[in-house]
Chain A
Amino acid sequence: MRACVVAIRRLAPIVVVACAACSGRMPALDPSGPQAARIATWWWIAFWVSVVVLALVLAFLLHTLARRRIAAAPASATHDPRVERRLVIGVSAAVGLSAVTLLVLLVSSIATGRALHDFGGADPLTVQVTGRQWWWDVEYWDPVPSQRVRTANEIHIPVGRPVLVKTRSSDVIHSFWVPGLHGKKDNIPGHGSSLVLQADRAGTFAGRCAEFCGVQHAHMQLLVIAEPPEVFEAWLQGQRTSAKAPTEGPARRGFEVFMSGPCALCHTVLGTPAGGRTGPDLTHLASRRTLAAGTVPNTPGHLAGWIIDPQGVKPGAQMPANSFDADDLSALLAFLGGLS
């Protein structure tokens, strides 16, 4: 009975980890880029070392307990020198082995860290990500100012090319983290930092804020979408074009609602007079997959809900509740839906 309990206790953690890893729900251990791959490699070394160490310690402990004799003799302050010598050798060997193991882990960790740091090409794509309560302000840098692209909560990158992500913050400390591609880097106001990541396959990688930043830290996600280079270039070109103010139909009415209502006070739509800088840039809102920093999908229904009652979706978000009547709202949705 005791042995069964013991065996279960020792094996269960290993089994659970194995199952979960197989299910592939751990992006940090299922890397899609070279940076995350280096980290995962080091971790698997440390993991198996830990399993062995824990197993040895537990086995020794259980064996010691199993072979104890119920002693009637009182405790004594003197000991058998042969036993003592064996114990000295055992403890010294264990300490020595631990030191060597730790040294191996240390050296490999520093080597991995150096590789992470040195990674990057001569011409990375440069993206500045500014954390704000509670969304990501993304700007694609370009030496020509008119070629720069400003978007929110979604970063498209070309497959196979290093991307330099510069992390900034305009209010409190956030942390940019896309586990499938790299570790995290804090966005600290007053400090600029950066990391270089790369995706080796196309796909959508979830990211999130990883430093507690206030009431909606839980709903501050982002998406990194890796695409083949030509698809990426097409997307970037599309993002560089301004919107055009619609001239007829419900979209025109929606545009007027946008300009005369609260929206233009906080949001920018390039190509129209709306130039607010408080909230995300909406010029290409319809091309994004999510709203409210990954909280809800970008569908007309969710968009309507977000506009009318953002506090119901994300209580504490900076976007205020807006009231529009049904006609105005559907016109506004038509206008926003055209901003692709």
Chain B
Amino acid sequence: MSIRALEFYRSPARYVGARTIGARAPGLVAGPLAPLRLATLKDLSPPREGWTRVKPRLSGICGSDLATIGGRSSFYFSPLVSLPFVPGHEVVGELLDDCGDLTAGTRVVISSVLGCAARGEDPMCPNCEAGRTGRCDRVTVGHLQAGLQTGFCKDTYGGWGRQMLAHRSQLFVVPDGMADDVAVLVEPFACAIHAAHRAQIAPGSSVLIVGAGTVGILTLIAVRSFTQAGHVVIAAKHRAQRAAARMAGANEVVNPEHAAKAVRRISSAIKLTPERGQDFLLGGADVSIECVGSRAGLDLALRTVKAGGRVVLSGIPAGGADLTPLWFRELELVGAYTAGVEETPAGPRHAFELAIETASSLGPVLGQMVGATYPLDRWRDAIDHAMSAGRLGTFKVAFAPQG
């Protein structure tokens, strides 16, 4: 028996094509320029103790996946992945094997980082030891080939296939009452919770969230659930995003071009207009969280935070942003990558546990965020849809690999 999966492979010609004209013609990225193929791959078996095969039920398409396919990812990642790989790291699936305390058939979500535990590194790096697996220093060594996460590693496969491998340290059990279309959002929600913690939002602080796609909305929910933020402004481009942001508890929902004005208003800042480029503020929000991963988004975040304020990068950063405000306003620029153990008032908790608990109560809201699911053989439609999700009023597009 073999495994049907979407495989990302090395293709310099497609890479160049997607990078140069993909932004102007996104349809081509889902078509002839996609370095993806629906392949039949060899069977998997758990390589050693602590590993299990997982049958993905749903696997989301993330912004980082689209950036990779569209040739927009930084070459910084090139030594951190092993090609060809099966993408997909937002996964809800069921175990095909018994794994430690978990029995076959258990429904799980996967914390995607392939850290020291998964790689058999002993002793673990200090970060993994502290539960901050996102910061693992060993993601290129050990039992596995290089791969910062499941979905970027040749050996484990990923969620965009009918089977994949996962280590016990990555698994979190999904409660019975939680639907798959909610569970598939646990991974991005855990990342959002991590971002909210990284933002270190003091009670009553003003927050600007740039972007109201899946990451932005989940970040907004996390900020509202896990901090005592004061006034929260969110910059949302599309109508469905604006509606969702209002439901999710934003005090103000504005178009991105009005975001500086809205922040200025709540902070009584001075707004200045440079000879070229976006307006900026002297004064501004206490914290800004960039959830788009675009240059314009980062520029906006940097230009609307008060002096000494904090800018959190939640989206994969794009190059080319003007860092002058970072220097001139003495800002703190903070990265928020994946999820790990967070310090909470009740003690250290894994962000996945927090996400599962919170998602259980937010089920109906989150369930509406998965706008479409596609079988693997309609992968071009799925990618095309995901690339235009905001415009089409969709938040999350996912594969149903068994369909």
Same complex? no
Interface residues of A (CB under 8 A from B): none
